[in-house]
Amino acid sequence: MLAQAGRLVAHVDMDAFYAAVERLDDPGLTGRPIIVGGGRRGVVSAASYEARRYGVRSAMPMFQARARCPQGAFLPVRMERYVQVSRQVMLVLAGFSPLLEQVSVDEAYLDLSGTERLWGDPAQTGRAIKQAVRGTIGLTCSVGLAPVRFLAKIASDRDKPDGLTVVSDLEAFLATVSLAEVPGVGAKARERLGAMGLNRLIEARALGAERLERTLGVLGRRLWELAWGRDDTPVTPEREVKSISNERTLERDTADRELLGAHLLGLSQKVARRLRRQGLSGRTVTLKLKHADHRLVTRSETLAGPTEAAEEVYAAAHRLLGAYSPPGPFRLIGVGISGLGDPAQGQAGLFTARQKGRQNALDRAEDAIVARFGDQALTRAGSLTTLDQKPFKRHNKDEAE
Ligand SMILES: [Mg+2]
């Protein structure tokens, strides 16, 4: 009942990526603790391994990091540069398999099934990947190889930095996996499972699929599969992105324009973050509304110039909402952006150059936080805190087409 043989998935994770890029660009930083962060929120976005030795951690307030590591190099987040290096890394990885899926600025999956004749056994393949990244880019990464995707991810984290972990004996490796390592198992689920006496993934087998599902719903069903090492999640190469959108099915149908506006802010932030993560900007903002009777309407506005700023996306979406006169109630709201291209440069849009500079710095700071802690970590003043902190009961759909 274990996972099918013959499949091989790699998870490649760059080591302390932002800090490593800073060192790459300024070799004078070699050996020094590097702390990247700051901005309006004033927290650490990334810390080099040297800095971690002093107890500096991501999300720590910068003043605290300075106190722990006064001799460190404190640098601002340069997201454009990280995206640029990230693209080079992905090009190198694409040389190993066309089935490459980038999941963040410094992480990707590769489906290497059937590449043995090219690259050798899994360990040889892993070493070849690491060598290629180091030789071409000058940075180290940690690689996990496994017959299934989620174990590749867990494996890449086992031996950081500059590590290589090959899961050859699936059953033996599964026995070592704690629930805390399993992607998608959050603190709440862990608490519930902990209360049932579960700490390790394979212990979920004893509970049975039905009980897991009753306790945790869809996650329970998935956990059951994972406990047996089964994960048929494919590695999906990115299609060309034509638009980026986020939508939210509301907990309750609403006609409250203020609440809808707050949702728009949260959604605009997500859309803008995804733009920046992919090094893109967009020109046409689309508002999507679904009436309580499931009637779907969209309204679009094309901006004077391309943008990747949440504020501009939000301003346009909010104008569209204001101009839409039917009172509702609505059951779903969404924001999308199309007309995608390279990052906006020199275009003032709604902002003067200076304001925009400040805005970019703010956006970059947010990107850094989200890159570390996920979308939930962040709320901007004006956005209802519950929007980002309370998971909605109905689905939240992310789509990039
Ligand atoms: Mg990383």
- What is the CA 59 to chain-centroid distance, rounded? 16
Percent of the chain residues topping a pLDDT of 70? 83
Q: Which residues contact 325 (CB under 8 A, 6 or more apart)?
A: none
Cβ atoms of 334 and 321 within 8 Å: the answer is no
Q: Determine the distance from the C-alpha atom of residue 241 to the mean position of all C-alpha atoms in its chain, rounded to a whole number.
A: 16
Query: How many whole angstroms from 12 Cα to the centroid of ligand 1?
Result: 8
pLDDT of residue 344: 52
* DSSP 8-state secondary structure symbol assigned to residue 315: H
Catalytic residues: 107
Class of domain 243-400 as given by CATH: alpha beta
Q: What is the pLDDT of residue 25?
A: 97
Q: What is the pLDDT of residues 292-309, one digit of tens each?
A: 998 889 999 999 888 988
**129/399 Cα distance (integer angstroms):** 30
- Protein residues within 5 Å, CB atom, of ion ligand 1: 13-14, 17, 106
E strands present in 217-316: 243-254, 282-291, 296-307
* Strand pairing class (43-47; 73-75): unpaired
State the distance from the centre of ligand 1 to the C-alpha of 24, rounded, in angstroms. 15
User: pLDDT digits over 104-119, tens only?
Assistant: 889 999 999 988 888 8
Higher-pLDDT residue of 275, 359: 275
Measure 17 CA to ligand 1 centroid, in angstroms. Answer: 6
CA–CA dist 195, 204 (Å, integer): 13
Residue 323: its pLDDT value, please? 93
Amino acid (1-letter code) at residue 210: E
C-alpha to C-alpha distance for 38 and 366, rounded to whole angstroms: 10
Cα angle vertex 242, ends 249, 86, to 5°? 100
What are residue 166's phi and psi, to 5 degrees?
-110, 125
Ligand 1: distance of its center to the CA of 16 in Å?
5
Q: How far is the CA of 157 from the centre of ligand 1 (A)?
A: 9
Q: Count the alpha carbons within 13 Å of 159 in the hemisphere toward its beta carbon.
A: 16
Rg of the chain over all Cα atoms, to the nearest angstrom = 22
Calpha distance 77→46 (Å, rounded): 9
| pLDDT band at residue 5 under the 50/70/90 scheme | low
- Residue 256 pLDDT exceeds 50: yes
Tell how far the Cα of 52 is from the centroid of ligand 1, in angstroms: 14
Judge: domain 17-80, CATH 1.10.1200.10: no
> What pTM does this model have?
0.64
**Edge-to-edge strand list for the sheet holding 296-307:** 296-307, 282-291, 330-338, 243-254, 396-400
Cα distance between residue 168 and residue 88, in whole Å: 30
Higher confidence at residue 65 or residue 262?
Answer: 65
Map out the domains of the chain as residue ranges: 17-80, 177-227, 243-400
Architecture of domain 177-227: Orthogonal Bundle (1.10)
Does the pLDDT at position 142 exceed 60?
yes
